[in-house]
């Protein structure tokens, strides 16, 4: 773990807001803790004391959550709505035959929607080899298996580069923008979408879920503008919206389009909103968490044998920061095949396919997917185990 100067202005002075902790799986986990801090010069919020960039690169290559290889497991309705919204914003800024690259394109669905809107030359890159193959099979989209750093620079530049929910995952933000700039033509456009940390407190959801194992940068419109202006970009559009993550969960987002002019602005505009909003978000999360702890404390005290469905950020955090680790857990359940056959706290992570072999009550450890998991248990798996809900 390494201390981290501000990823935008490189200032070394930071203010601690919160210390986040996780219990890691036997293999495949990214980190077990970090500090949520804000820069004392520009006001940017970020995760400090985290691994080097190479650790993140290996994780996204080996542990992608966005892989599927058949049309029966396509993107959620919520993702499709987001993809259409991004495409609709972007198309008016493109010309016929524009060369478009999406970095971190997963299975290529958004590129396929963009291609339907015009005669654009679209391509993508993704660190997951499976996503690379899937994009060709399902959508006939050219996707190459690169991460941002080993992506080759060609003489023919791109007219548009898309970074949709990428920058919140990247440790070395300035280096990332420098690499993007090397691929983009003069007056080319850059489309970025990230979660909006200046509005987390308006949509608290599951406690501390925005401080996940993967999200390590907490952008506001001001901090995003500080970053891009310093690299020679001029803002064309900035939209703050609310995206649906599930039937009962909303996420505030920022969508921007910038044009590369090469004219750099070195002045920093102080972001006063992020620290205030993150502090309020922490307070609201602590209040919501009391209700979760009451359920978990009862389970721990009773020593009732249970199964826990879900081993992502939500569960890893509860195991580290509540009495869930003291509960009588027989096994963990998760639909992600990347997690199965591993263990957490020396307990197995099993597939839902073998759930019929267990009779223990099932604690659903997810707020975003709680209703989906409940339907999967009852309607798809036809399992009648008792279900315990946290929300």
Query: Does residue 69 register a pLDDT over 50?
Result: no
Which of 75-89, 304-318, 346-360 is predicted least confidently? 75-89
CA 388 to chain centre: 27
Query: Does residue 202 register a pLDDT over 50?
Result: yes
Length of the chain: 391
Dihedral-angle region of residue 133 (phi above 0 means left; psi in -120 to 50 means alpha; beta otherwise): alpha
Architecture of domain 294-389: 3-Layer(aba) Sandwich (3.40)
The reply to whether 46-280 and 294-389 are identical in fold is: yes
Q: What percent of the chain has pLDDT over 90?
A: 85
Mean pLDDT computed over every residue of the chain: 94
Q: What's the confidence (pLDDT) of residue 273?
A: 96
Instruction: Say if residues 157 and 188 touch (Cβ distance below 8 Å).
Output: yes
pLDDT digits (tens, 9 = 90+) for 139-175: 999 899 999 999 888 888 999 999 999 999 999 999 9
| Residue 364, CA distances (Å) to 34, 314, 322, 334, 385 in order | 25, 10, 15, 10, 12
Higher-confidence position of 118 and 228: 228
Query: Does residue 296 register a pLDDT over 80?
Result: yes
Higher-confidence position of 247 and 259: 259
For the chain, the domains span 46-280, 294-389
Distance CA 2, CA 13 (A): 15
Among candidate residues 20, 15, 18, the one with its CA nearest the CA of residue 214 = 20
> CB atoms < 10 A from the CB of 195, how many?
22
Going by the DSSP 8-state scheme, the letter that residue 244 receives in this structure is: E
Distance CA 104, CA 164 (A): 8
Among candidate residues 117, 109, 68, 125, the one with its CA nearest the CA of residue 92 = 117
pLDDT digits (tens, 9 = 90+) for 28-38: 999 999 999 99
Among candidate residues 105, 5, 90, the one with its CA nearest the CA of residue 46 = 5
Q: What's the confidence (pLDDT) of residue 74?
A: 62
Architecture of domain 46-280: 3-Layer(aba) Sandwich (3.40)
Dihedral in degrees, nearest 10, Cα atoms 197, 173, 57, 16: -50
Query: Does residue 98 register a pLDDT over 50?
Result: yes
Q: What's the confidence (pLDDT) of residue 66?
A: 62
């Amino acid at each position: 773990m390494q201390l981290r100067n501000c990823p935008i202005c490189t200032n070394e002075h930071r203010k601690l807001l919160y210390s986040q902790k996780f219990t890691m799986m036997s293999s495949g986990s990214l980190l077990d803790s970090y500090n949520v801090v804000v820069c004392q010069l520009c006001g940017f919020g970020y995760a400090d004391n985290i691994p080097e960039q190479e650790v993140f690169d290996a994780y996204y290559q080996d542990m992608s959550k966005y892989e599927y290889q058949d049309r029966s497991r396509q993107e959620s309705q919520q993702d499709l709505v987001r993809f259409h919204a991004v495409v609709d914003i972007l198309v008016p800024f493109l010309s016929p035959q524009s060369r478009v690259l999406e970095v971190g394109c997963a299975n290529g669905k958004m590129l396929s929607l963009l291609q339907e809107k015009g005669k654009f030359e679209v391509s993508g890159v993704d660190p997951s080899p499976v996503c690379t193959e899937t994009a060709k099979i399902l959508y006939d989209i050219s996707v190459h298996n690169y991460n941002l750093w080993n992506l080759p620079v060609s003489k023919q530049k791109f007219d548009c580069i898309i970074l949709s929910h990428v920058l919140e995952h990247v440790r070395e933000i300035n280096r990332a923008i420098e690499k993007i700039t090397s691929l983009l033509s003069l007056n080319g456009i850059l489309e970025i979408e990230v979660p909006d940390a200046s509005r987390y407190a308006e949509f608290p959801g599951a406690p501390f879920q925005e401080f996940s194992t993967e999200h390590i940068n907490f952008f506001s419109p001001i901090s995003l503008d500080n970053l891009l202006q310093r690299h020679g970009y001029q803002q064309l559009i900035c939209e703050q919206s609310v995206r649906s993550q599930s039937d009962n969960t909303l996420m505030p987002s920022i969508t921007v389009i910038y044009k590369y002019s090469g004219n750099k602005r070195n002045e920093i505009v102080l972001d006063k909103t992020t620290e205030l909003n993150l502090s309020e978000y922490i307070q609201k999360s602590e209040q919501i968490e009391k209700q979760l702890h009451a359920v978990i404390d009862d389970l721990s005290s009773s020593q009732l044998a249970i199964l826990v469905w879900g081993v992502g950020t939500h569960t890893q955090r509860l195991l580290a920061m509540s009495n869930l680790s003291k509960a009588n857990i027989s096994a963990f359940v998760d639909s992600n095949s990347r997690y199965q056959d591993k263990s957490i706290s020396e307990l197995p992570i099993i597939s839902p396919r073998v759930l019929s072999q267990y009779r223990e009550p099932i604690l659903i450890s997810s707020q975003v997917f709680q209703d989906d998991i409940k339907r999967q248990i009852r309607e798809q798996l036809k399992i009648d185990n008792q279900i315990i809900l946290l929300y």
